[in-house]
Amino acid sequence: MNMIQDFLLQIGANTKDFQTGMIAGAIIVMISLFLVLFFSGICRKEKKKSEVNTADETDKNLEKIRKLEQEVNRIKNEKGAIAENKFNEGAVYTLQLLQREGRFVDFIKENIEHFGDEQVGAAVRQIHSGCRKVVDENFNVKPLFGGEEGEKISLDNNFDPSEVKMTGNVPDKAPYSGELKHKGWLSEKVKLPKRTGKVNTNVVYPAEIEF
């Protein structure tokens, strides 16, 4: 303890200036510590605020992405439904044309068991003419293979499976050589007549009422 007192006396600790300087230095140190703590608190608050803002922006972006995905799925479903409806309408419309030109549906739905072959044959001739007209005018159907049935046909690995049906003892690998049993048919165009006005697309043929 005496050594500390002697040291303080040697450096002039008992003088008024020294004491004043010590007090001023202490005040400066306290102010410095206060400022450090104050700005540290501000920095922490700003950092926390920034993190909160970043999290909010992330949530908002994720919500936008979810809404966009929902909208895309909605559009896809609508387009799928429209495409399916158009396909169904075209199929029924084809039946309508076959019925209008060849009375095809009437013939198919008729019970012909009690009719003789001559009666059926006479009806088929008229149906054949009308249905052929529909197929030629609206679908332009052509043979897939130009050869005659019974001719030898050879196929390599690049053939289209949707165009060829293999039957019998099919080889394990190409070339595939066989006999043409059916030439197949290909529609080179689909051009159905345009309908106008409001119509029930499920009606194949309207009922007829005579007055």
Higher pLDDT, 83 or 58: 58
Burial of residue 96, with CB atoms counted within 10 A of its CB: 0-12 exposed, 13-18 middle, 19 or more buried: buried
pLDDT at res. 52: 60
What would the mean pLDDT of 153-176 be, rounded to a whole number?
Answer: 86
pLDDT above 80: residue 135:
yes
What would the mean pLDDT of 77-106 be, rounded to a whole number?
Answer: 80
pLDDT at res. 147: 80
What letters, b where the CB count within 10 A reaches 16 and e where it falls short, cover 36-72?
A: eeeeeeeeeeeeeeeeeeeeeeeeeeeeeeeeeeeee
> Do the beta carbons of residue 184 and residue 162 sit within 8 Å?
no
pLDDT above 70: residue 10:
no
Burial of residue 211, with CB atoms counted within 10 A of its CB: 0-12 exposed, 13-18 middle, 19 or more buried: exposed
Domain ranges for the chain: 144-157+174-192
pLDDT at res. 93: 87
> Do the beta carbons of residue 179 and residue 152 sit within 8 Å?
yes
Residues 6+ apart with CB under 8 A from 144: 163, 183, 184, 185, 186
Q: Which pTM value belongs to this model?
A: 0.53
